[in-house]
Amino acid sequence: MAEPIVVTEGLTKDYHLGPHTVHALRGVSVTIERGEFVAVMGPSGSGKSTFMNLLGCLDTSSAGRYVLDGQDVAGLSADDLARIRNAKIGFVFQQFNLLPRTTALENVELPLLYGTLPARERRTRAQQRLASVGLADRAGHHPSQLSGGQQQRVAIARALVNDPAMILADEPTGNLDTRTSVEVLALLQGLNRAGLTIVLVTHEPDIATYASRHLTFRDGRLRADERVEAPVDAAVALTSLPREDEDAA
Ligand code: ADP
Ligand code: MG
């Protein structure tokens, strides 16, 4: 069997604020196999974002082990972490995090600028990814000229541009209306069916119904790990959701 994409053992994160210590993660052990669609759930402050930042090599743990795609990341230098992050992980955030005075196409191309692809191939690859999220005709638009749903699709195209092994999405639908949220979930489910591992952080139970596994955090601990027999199919759900005004964000 293929190696799991994620293995954590006793993953721990303390934040030191002057004399105080915040125990954000208190020893989380979990394995995520390739091709899973995992929802990370739990109330505000339960450690979801801390967990995701560690999985994404955006931060380092205080204790415990993390093996990403077969590689133990503990003890790696900041440069090595950045390299692994760029090669293996695509990030999607609630606030989209697009550069404002930059076109959709340039935003998608951005992660490739750290690599070795020639300019022409970078451009072609970015155009393909933008087309794959249905935005080929918006390549020259700036983020302010796009709806919220379109901006999030640009962010997803950007997350895909390096052919990552895993997508980490932290509350990706938090700023979107219901129908647009389900459209984004349909896109993520499509990518997942094509084999991509997805870890989606959400505090909304409705959003988690589209995932095939629920990890529930509370007070920095993993409280529940449940398989979902039949996740909701977002494409089907869309057929019974009214279409929102195209201009709405
Ligand atoms: P969630 O994403 O589930 O809302 P977080 O992982 O953001 O939770 O936070 C978990 C705990 O760690 C909270 O108590 C939060 O206040 C604390 N925390 C998160 N980030 C920091 C930080 N950079 N410095 C200090 N404390 C933090
Ligand atoms: Mg959070």
C-alpha atoms less than 13 angstroms from C-alpha of 174 in its C-beta half-sphere:
13
- How far apart CA 215 and CA 8 sit, in angstroms, is 13
User: How far is the C-alpha of 156 from the C-alpha of 134, rounded, in Å?
Assistant: 11
The structure tokens 């739990």 sit at 42
How confident is the model over 197-205, as a mean pLDDT?
Answer: 96
Identify the bridge partners of residue 6 per DSSP, sorted by sequence position.
32, 68
Cα 115 to middle of ligand 1, angstroms: 32
| Residue range 201-222: mean pLDDT, rounded | 97
Ligand 1, atom 12, residue with closest C-alpha: 24
Residue-level pLDDT at 114 = 83
pLDDT above 90 for 242? no
Indicate which atom in ligand 1 lies nearest the CA of residue 201.
2
What is the per-residue DSSP string for 229-249? Answer: SS---HHHHHHTSPPPPTT--
Which residues are near ligand 1 (CB < 6 Å)? 15, 17, 22, 24, 42, 44-50
Tell me the CA–centroid distance for residue 169 and ligand 2, in Å.
11
Q: 243 falls in which pLDDT band (50, 70, 90)? A: confident
Say yes or no to pLDDT of 71 above 60.
yes
* C-alpha 40 to ligand 1 mean position (Å): 15
Pure H helices in the chain: 48-55, 78-88, 104-109, 119-132, 148-160, 178-193, 205-208, 234-239
Q: Which ligand is nearest to the CA of 45?
A: 1
Q: Looking at residues 29-49, what average pLDDT do you find?
A: 97
| Mean of pLDDT values over 61-89 | 93
Question: 104, 139 in Cβ contact below 8 A?
Answer: yes
Please give the model's pTM, rounded to 2 decimal places. 0.93
Q: Which ligand is nearest to the CA of 13?
A: 1
Taking the C-alpha atoms of residue 24 and residue 53, their distance in angstroms, rounded to an integer, is: 12
Q: Which atom of ligand 1 is nearest to the CA of 220?
A: 10
Q: What average pLDDT does this structure show over 55-77?
A: 93
Predicted local confidence at residue 158, as pLDDT = 97
Query: What is the reported pLDDT for 11?
Result: 98
Name the residue with tokens 């451009």.
123
15 pLDDT band (50/70/90 cuts)? Answer: very high
Over residues 93-112, the pLDDT tens digits come to 999 999 999 999 999 999 99
Neighbours of ion ligand 2 (CB under 5 A): 48-49
Q: For residue 249, what pLDDT is reported?
A: 46
Using the predicted structure, report yes or no on whether residue 248 has a pLDDT greater than 80: no
pLDDT above 90 as % of the chain: 91
In the reported structure, the alpha carbon of residue 50 is separated from the centroid of ligand 1 by a whole-number distance in angstroms of 6
